[in-house]
Amino acid sequence: MAENRQKTAGRTREKRPVRSALSLTQLRSYVTPQEAARLLTCEGQRPVTADDVRRLIERGAPGRGGKVRLVDLIAWMARETEAR
């Protein structure tokens, strides 16, 4: 069990296995705001709604016909966060 522990800032915590609900196909495919919200909520630290995704598209996130590619959306969100 000790090999599954990590020392961080003087504290020891257990490493969690990294599991992703997203496949490469899902990242590259155009998805609806509802699908994007569901997938981002599964992977993220806070819930994301379809309205959140629509607002991001309105603010300039890349999309086509009301749909987004998650890989493009995530990259856009990272650039926006970095610019702040």
Q: What is the mean pLDDT of each run of 10 residues along the chain (84 residues)?
A: 51 55 73 92 90 95 92 92 86
State the total domains in the chain: 1
The predicted structure's pLDDT at residue 1: 43
The predicted structure's pLDDT at residue 7: 54
Longest dimension (CA), the chain: 51
Would residue 61 count as lying in a domain?
yes
Would residue 9 count as lying in a domain?
no
Long-range contacts of the stretch 7-11 (C-beta < 8 A, 24+): none
Would residue 70 count as lying in a domain?
yes
Structural domain span for residue 81? 29-84
Would residue 53 count as lying in a domain?
yes
User: Using CA atoms, how far apart are residues 61 and 68, in angstroms rounded to an integer?
Assistant: 8
Would residue 40 count as lying in a domain?
yes
Would residue 18 count as lying in a domain?
no
